[in-house]
Structure 1
Amino acid sequence: MTRTGDARRGAIVDRAMHIASVEGLEGLTLGRLAEALRTSKSGIQTLFGTKQELQLAIIAAASRVFERDVSLPAQQQPAGLARLRTLMSLWIDYLKTFEGGCLFVAAASELDDRPGPVRDAVAEAVARACALLRHDVELALRLRELPEDTDAEQLVFELHAMVLQANHDRQLLGRDDALIRAHNAVNRLLRTGS
């Protein structure tokens, strides 16, 4: 693909991520995307081939956004509780990235019972994020910045649940304070190491 083709493909995927966060990966058709971009459906089909290829490109792009906005900046922090707190703060703020909230939360709900490559890609992306969270929790434990009797898996579950609840409350219930409440909950849960 040419540089122009790559740039065009990137611009299409960028817009598609926002639409999919609102309408769902299944709800986003090539026709709907063409309409939103004021271009031809055949032009989009030429770049992506199938709806499934477009969906996979959206998931890959959203994963790169998460890495750029959450994972990489958090990894720049000192190992331990400081990194874990930064990771959670950035993750909560990431919920504002897409018009419809977290694309992965929406896609997971939409595809959790539908086998196939798109569901697998979403599951892999969520598993990578949780593995990063688990790694930082375990590191804070090894550095003795969390109580030694901390159940790492339980803490990962609770921290991830806060992100999911914040997205739910913000998107479904329209609660403007959802992200502030999530930040407060994380700070309270991780206060023991300070």
Structure 2
Amino acid sequence: MSKGEETKAAILDEAAELASLVGLGGLTIGTLAAATKLSKSGLYAHFASKEALQVQVLEHARGRFTDVVMRPTLAAPRGEPRLREFFDRWLTWQSEAFDGGCIFVVAASEFDDQEGPVRDELLRAERDKLESVTLIVGTAISEGHFRPDVDAEQVAYELEGILLAHHHARRLMRDAGAEARARRAFERLVADCRPVALTG
């Protein structure tokens, strides 16, 4: 990575942290300049517009999510262990990646109805994540950890629901038991997917 690329990555780290706190809508060249102590003209050299900045922040956050959550998950054993690894890392991501919570959850509440490049990037990230979870559940089925009739897309949908509830409970409600509740919900979901034990 060149010095220029390192500088831009550091700026995007700061921008993503700021966006998690003030929202992508509140992220501007001006607010980023104030946070980084860099000039607006210097930042315009990296980002031609507010919208370009927002899109690149999401792309940068996606890269971090891939490094922190996805790559380690894919190194875990196939099937249920891999799904557990993904859940644990996703839960940790929501709690620790940014001071303001998961940037994707924050941005989704802002841009769900706003057509354009920012929403398009959010949609790509969300679809990729759900596709990954669906594939992981599929391996759990093929490995015999889950029943053959399990709907992998439904499991991915419900897992997303658990994590969104966790983010809401932790950030808005400041519920100290948010993580424990999320883990109990996850265990019920997994238990519902396992083959029925035969009794003699």
TM over 0.5: yes
1:169 is displaced (CA, Å) by: 1.1
TM-score where L is the length of structure 2? 0.91
Q: For CA contacts below 8 A with separation 6 or more, give which structure has more relative contact order.
A: 1
Q: Aligned partners of 1:63, 1:186: CA distance in 2, in Å?
A: 24
Q: Residues 86-131 of structure 1, C-alpha deviation per residue, up to 9 Å, x if partnerless?
A: 1111111110211111111111111010111111001100111111
Gaps of 5+ in 1: none
Deviation beyond 3 Å, 4+ runs, structure 1: 191-194
Q: Which residue of structure 1 lines up, in the alignment, with residue 160 of structure 2?
A: 160
Report the counterpart of residue 80 of structure 1 in structure 2: 79
How far off its partner does 1:184 sit?
A: 2.5
Name the amino acid aligned to 2:19: A
Distance 1:180 1:68 in 2: 25
Shift, 1:42, TM fit: 1.4
Q: 1:1-194 alignment to 2 at 5 Å? A: 3-96=2-95, 97-191=97-191, 193=194
> TM-score normalised to the size of structure 1?
0.94
**Aligned-partner Cα distance in 2 for 1:129–1:76:** 16
Counterpart for residue 198 of structure 2: none
One-letter amino acid of the structure 2 residue matched with residue 54 of structure 1: L
- Percent of counterpart pairs with the same letter? 37
Q: Distance in 2 between matches of 1:101 and 1:17?
A: 11
Contact (CA 8 Å) 2:101, 2:171: kept in 1 or not?
Answer: yes
Name the aligned partner's letter for residue 5 of structure 1. Answer: G
